């Protein structure tokens, strides 16, 4: 031992063991064949286990039907050369048992991380040993072992290499799993827009915006208001006066007896621009009203579309239930022929069949008025068919509650209309202030030489006279009253804006509660009640066929299942309609919720 001190060799060996070999960590003492202690182990065990089933990894299923596949352990061991030179083998455990290495108590300390899918493993065993520089011993390969790969490192690096590998292994185990989870969450939290969820509805929305007669009429009125901006921004028409002297003292010609004058009035500086701004603000307010009305129409279109889709889904479910009842009728008739069922059971199943037929007819009649209302908003024939979806799904919100509130304040056209009306009131106050200042006019007059007293002077010529006039706003109470009126309007619009915001926030909370409640009901029905009712119906049908259940129990569970299906469809429709109402509050047709179920 003393002669071999100071000589160090480091071996990195990658090998794939057989199924019969055991891990060096198994056993309480990790002893060698000679019974002596093999040394002190500092190990990092990384178990790669397919715990969850991934759709892209069908090989995860074992022959026995397990979900785990295989577990590979990577061991990094530091040992002192004691009494044995054996290489610690790699443990391969068939996942029929799926044993967890952490369940071994204090026999090993390991850091584990689960990966999806079956992966190939390898053993990296670095051994730092003191002894003679003997040639590396290659262990014989078995049929299922990989070729050993040996590397010889400088003695100066014997302490850095194991520490470096340990650090790399710890970093991989700590950070790779959170990154993967974050990637899955990010992709899961990206819901599709409402138009992508229901493409038929998106097309009907486009038609209603373009073809609705009421919206077209309101847009025409807005265009008329836009044209008034030019009207109020021009000067007043000039005044032209013509005078004729019927009884001159003397006259040489008829034209000399005329007098012509022209006058142009001008308001105070900036008055015309203020009037243009006032009319522009009024047109903006009317345009905001068009947007508000468009949101209301689109909201009615969407709600009516979901009502029609709900009724058609109910008809489909009722027809499926009717087929089920007919199958039960065949079962009852078979039992009746064998004397195991009474005639009353046949009559009751026939009554149930007629009741379902009547219910289908009632549902079909309910579609007609909804279809007429829907087509009216699209400017189509009342009886034209409305295309709906084959499956109603949940549409979750794409924004948080706080983001929805902020979007309502920023995007709802009601606030745009209030801002435009407030701006118009401010312009009215400005115009009242400008009207309280003097106005002036400039003109010219041309008098003939025979007009009036000019005819007394034979040598007189035509006279050209310049004129100017000033409008004096003497009665100030009129203009002061106009300014006070504008101030009261501005305060009224401020209060209306505050009240509108409070009302919209209250409606938002109501619709959010409806969304959450509908989601809870849908989850309860889809995951708990409906599956159990279907299972109960199947069990009772089998028991009834062998005479272990009463017919009234079978009929009752069939009715309960139908009602549960109706409740589920109603909850899904209520959730979608609540999303539509929130979308209307937010002032646009852009999608807010998502997520499909």
* Whether residues 169 and 219 fall in one domain: no
Residue 261 lies in a domain: no
* Whether residues 346 and 485 fall in one domain: yes
When computed from its CA atoms, the radius of gyration of the chain, rounded to whole angstroms, is 46
Q: What residues does 93 pair with on adjacent strands?
A: 71
Handedness of CA 56, 58, 60, 61 (dihedral sign): positive
Handedness of CA 421, 423, 425, 431 (dihedral sign): negative
- DSSP code for 102: G
Own/partner long-range contacts of 339-347 (Cβ < 8 Å, ≥24 apart): 340/547, 341/551, 345/551
* Whether residues 90 and 64 fall in one domain: yes
Distance CA 15, CA 29 (A): 24
Instruction: Residue 418: name the closest of 308, 482, 316, 499 by CA.
Output: 499
Domain that holds residue 287: 200-234+267-437+473-585
Residue 254 lies in a domain: no
* Whether residues 173 and 215 fall in one domain: no
* Whether residues 11 and 45 fall in one domain: yes
* Whether residues 206 and 336 fall in one domain: yes
* Whether residues 142 and 281 fall in one domain: no
Query: What is the reported pLDDT for 73?
Result: 35
Residue 418 lies in a domain: yes
Q: What is the pLDDT of residues 414-426, one digit of tens each?
A: 999 999 999 999 9
Query: What is the reported pLDDT for 399?
Result: 81
Structure tokens at 569: 């469809």
Residue 464 lies in a domain: no
C-beta neighbour count of 467 within 10 angstroms:
12
Distance CA 431, CA 277 (A): 10
Distance CA 116, CA 506 (A): 47
Phi, psi at residue 310, to the nearest 5°?
Answer: -65, -45
* Whether residues 127 and 216 fall in one domain: no
* Whether residues 217 and 167 fall in one domain: no
Residue 42 lies in a domain: yes
Q: Do the beta carbons of residue 161 and residue 109 sit within 8 Å? A: no
Question: Which residue is listed with tokens 């026999």?
Answer: 107
Structure tokens at 325: 């009842």
pLDDT in tens, the chain (597 residues): 444 443 333 343 434 444 444 443 344 343 433 344 333 333 333 333 333 333 333 333 333 333 333 333 333 333 333 334 444 443 333 433 433 333 333 333 333 333 333 333 333 333 333 333 444 444 444 444 444 444 444 554 455 666 556 656 655 554 444 333 333 333 334 345 455 578 889 999 999 999 999 999 999 999 999 999 998 988 988 999 998 888 777 767 777 788 899 999 999 999 999 999 999 999 999 999 999 999 999 999 999 999 999 999 999 999 999 998 998 888 888 888 888 888 888 899 999 999 999 999 999 999 999 999 999 999 999 999 999 988 888 877 778 889 999 999 999 999 999 999 999 999 999 999 999 999 999 999 988 877 877 767 777 778 888 999 999 998 999 999 999 999 999 999 999 999 999 999 999 999 999 999 999 999 999 999 999 999 999 999 888 888 888 888 988 999 999 999 999 999 999 999 999 999 999 986 543 333 333
Query: What is the reported pLDDT for 532?
Result: 95
Q: Do the beta carbons of residue 591 and residue 412 sit within 8 Å? A: no
Give the side-chain half-sphere CA count within 13 A for 117.
Answer: 6
* Whether residues 204 and 56 fall in one domain: no
* Whether residues 424 and 283 fall in one domain: yes
Helix, strand, coil percentages for the chain (3-state, nearest 5) = 55, 10, 35
Number of H helices, E strands in the chain: 11, 9
Distance CA 182, CA 178 (A): 6
Q: Do the beta carbons of residue 122 and residue 16 sit within 8 Å? A: yes
Q: What is the CATH number of the domain that holds 572?
A: 1.20.1600.10
pTM: 0.62
Final residue belonging to a domain, choices 152, 167, 188: 188
Question: Which residue is listed with tokens 């203020």?
Answer: 274
Phi, psi at residue 413, to the nearest 5°?
Answer: -70, -15
Residue 241 lies in a domain: no
Q: Do the beta carbons of residue 126 and residue 78 sit within 8 Å? A: yes
Task: Please give the full DSSP string across 58-85, using - where no structure is assigned.
Answer: GGGS-TTS-S--EEEEE--------S--
Final residue belonging to a domain, choices 158, 188, 218: 188
Distance CA 314, CA 310 (A): 6
Q: What is the pLDDT of residues 334-347, one digit of tens each?
A: 888 888 888 888 89
Q: What is the pLDDT of residues 284-304, one digit of tens each?
A: 999 999 999 999 999 999 999
Distance CA 377, CA 299 (A): 11
Residue 52 lies in a domain: yes
Q: What is the pLDDT of residues 378-424, one digit of tens each?
A: 999 999 999 998 888 887 777 888 999 999 999 999 999 999 999 99
Residue 253 lies in a domain: no
Instruction: Residue 562: name the closest of 347, 355, 386, 286 by CA.
Output: 355
Question: Which residue is listed with tokens 């199943």?
Answer: 349
413-435 and 271-337 helices cross at what angle (nearest 10)? 160
Query: What is the reported pLDDT for 159?
Result: 55
Distance CA 267, CA 233 (A): 11
Chain centre to alpha carbon of residue 428: 42
Structure tokens at 220: 């025409």
343-377 and 551-585 helices cross at what angle (nearest 10)? 10
Count of domains in the chain?
Answer: 2
C-beta neighbour count of 527 within 10 angstroms:
11
* Whether residues 158 and 216 fall in one domain: no
């Amino acid at each position: 031992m003393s002669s071999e001190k100071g000589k160090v060799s480091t071996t990195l060996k990658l090998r794939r063991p057989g199924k019969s070999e055991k891990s060096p960590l198994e056993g309480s003492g990790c002893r060698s064949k000679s019974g002596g202690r093999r040394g002190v182990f500092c190990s990092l065990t990384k178990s790669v286990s397919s715990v969850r089933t991934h759709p892209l990894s069908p090989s995860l299923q074992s022959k026995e039907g397990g979900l785990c596949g295989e577990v590979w352990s990577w061991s990094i061991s530091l040992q002192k050369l004691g009494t044995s030179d054996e290489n610690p083998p790699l443990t391969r455990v068939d996942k029929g048992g799926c044993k967890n290495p952490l369940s071994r108590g204090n026999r090993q300390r390991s850091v584990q991380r689960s990966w999806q899918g079956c992966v190939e493993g390898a053993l990296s065993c670095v051994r730092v040993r003191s002894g003679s520089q003997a040639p590396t011993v290659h262990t014989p390969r078995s049929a299922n072992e990989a070729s050993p790969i040996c590397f010889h490192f400088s003695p100066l690096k014997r302490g850095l290499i194991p520490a470096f590998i340990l650090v790399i292994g710890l970093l991989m185990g700590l950070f790779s799993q959170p990154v993967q989870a974050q990637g899955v969450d990010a992709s899961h939290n990206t819901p599709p827009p409402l138009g992508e969820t229901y493409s038929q509805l998106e097309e009907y929305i486009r038609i209603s915006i373009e073809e609705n007669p009421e919206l077209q009429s309101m847009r025409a009125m807005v265009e008329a208001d836009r044209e008034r901006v030019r009207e109020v921004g021009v000067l007043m028409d000039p005044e032209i006066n013509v005078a004729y002297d019927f009884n001159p003292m003397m006259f040489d010609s008829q034209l000399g007896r005329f007098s012509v004058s022209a006058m142009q009035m001008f308001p105070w500086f900036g008055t015309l621009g203020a009037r243009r701004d006032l009319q522009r603000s009024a047109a903006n307010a009317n345009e905001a009203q068009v947007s508000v009305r468009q949101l209301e129409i689109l909201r009615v279109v969407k709600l009516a579309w979901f009502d029609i889709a709900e009724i058609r889904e109910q008809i489909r479910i009722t027809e499926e239930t009717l087929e089920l009842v007919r199958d039960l009728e065949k079962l009852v008739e078979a039992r009746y022929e064998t004397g195991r069922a009474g005639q009353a059971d046949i009559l009751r199943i026939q009554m149930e069949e007629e009741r379902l037929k009547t219910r289908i007819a009632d549902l079909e009649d309910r579609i007609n008025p909804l279809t007429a209302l829907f087509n009216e908003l699209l400017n189509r024939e009342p009886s034209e068919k409305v295309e709906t979806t084959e499956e109603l799904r949940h549409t979750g919100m794409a924004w948080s509650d706080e983001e929805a509130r902020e979007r309502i304040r920023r995007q709802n056209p009601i606030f745009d209309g209030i801002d435009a009306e407030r701006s118009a009131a401010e312009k009215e106050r400005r115009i009242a202030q400008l009207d309280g200042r003097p106005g002036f006019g400039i003109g010219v007059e041309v008098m003939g030489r025979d007009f009036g007293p000019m005819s007394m002077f034979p040598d007189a010529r035509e006279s050209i006279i310049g004129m100017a006039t000033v409008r004096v706003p003497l009665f100030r109470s009129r203009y002061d009253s106009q300014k006070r009126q504008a101030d009261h309007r501005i305060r009224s619009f401020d209060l209306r804006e505050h009240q509108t915001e409070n009302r919209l926030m209250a409606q938002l909370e109501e619709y959010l509660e409806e969304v959450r409640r509908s989601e809870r009901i849908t989850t309860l029905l889809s995951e708990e009640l409906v599956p159990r009712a279907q299972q109960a119906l199947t069990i009772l049908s089998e028991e009834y066929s062998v005479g272990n259940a009463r017919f009234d129990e079978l009929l009752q569970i069939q009715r309960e299942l139908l009602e549960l299906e109706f409740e589920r469809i109603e909850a899904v429709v209520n959730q979608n309609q609540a999303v539509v109402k929130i979308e209307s509050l937010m002032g646009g047709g852009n999608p807010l919720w998502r997520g499909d179920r």
